[in-house]
Amino acid sequence: MSESLQTILTYTLIPIVVTIIGGTIAAYRTPGEKTRITVQHFAAGVVFAAVALELLPELVTNLRILPLIIGFSSGVALMLVVRWGAEKFEGKQGSGGLVIAAGVDVFIDGLLMGVSFDVGLKTGIIITIALSIELLFLALSVASSLAKEGKSKSRIILTTIILSLLVLIGAAIGGSLLEGIHGSALEGIIAFAVAALLYLVTEELLVEAHKGGQDSAFSTTMFFVGFLIVMILETAT
């Protein structure tokens, strides 16, 4: 195992632990709707800032049109396919479909973490932290849904642990397959990650946050708090 892959897997422990903690908390006490919405807004702000401050500057600095179009289009296409599959699973198989859809989401997040470390260590760390917050929300949502269906606490926690391991698998694949890639190929991969993460913010986190009409000025403010924190981290490093 290369040193860079060891670094990726070490930092991947952050989202793994966060995911397990989120699922365990929800297994014993389902978070309220306002808490969920607040976490979603904060996660959206962090992910959006990570894209704007870490990935886009790298992409614009080395801009080549063809890799940009291919990578960005591929990212959008993949997320739309994932959305279509998730809707089919969730509609037909109840909580089982929800878990499968969440598993695909978690795997893609892990893949994006692995890809981000190919851009640079700082970029990888910030993207990993951003996606860890998003995975906290995902774990809370899945565990809460399982709890409402009467699943046992041990089963909920075990499901969360299994989901968290998909982060590790995705990161390992992203880090190992893309290791040493440079030039146009790397630019295409960055464009792919930008599209996937923007989709995550606009079509998942914020859309879910605005369902139910319980969002408030405070929850909206948390979006900007998340963005500001990443800007401060970017300035300090």
pLDDT tens, position by position, 98-141: 777 788 888 888 888 888 887 778 888 888 888 888 888 888 88
Q: Which residues constitute the domain of residue 113? A: 3-26+33-236
Please report the pLDDT score of residue 95 as a whole number: 60
pLDDT tops 80 at residue 85: no
Band of residue 224 on the pLDDT scale cut at 50, 70, 90? very high
The whole-angstrom separation of Cα 143 and Cα 35 is 15
- The Cβ of residue 108 has, within 10 Å, a number of other Cβ atoms equal to 20
- On the question of pLDDT at 4 being above 80, the answer is no
Pair 165, 12: CB distance under 8 Å: no
Q: Higher pLDDT residue, 83 or 44?
A: 44
Average the pLDDT over 2-13 and give the result.
Answer: 83
| pLDDT confidence tier of residue 94, bands split at 50, 70 and 90 | low
In tens, the pLDDT along 41-67 reads 898 898 899 888 888 887 777 678 888
Per the structure block, which two tokens stand in for 32? Answer: 């309220």
Q: How many C-beta neighbours within 10 Å does residue 210 have?
A: 15
The answer to whether 203 and 83 have CB atoms below 8 angstroms apart is yes
Q: What is the percent of the chain with per-residue pLDDT over 70, rounded to a whole number?
A: 91
Amino acid found at 44: A
172 vs 3, which has greater pLDDT? 172
pLDDT surpassing 80 at residue 219: yes
Mean pLDDT of 211-215: 69
CA distance linking residue 176 with residue 2, whole number of Å: 9
Number of domains comprising the chain: 1
> pTM higher than 0.95, yes or no?
no
Q: Is the pLDDT of residue 221 over 90?
A: yes
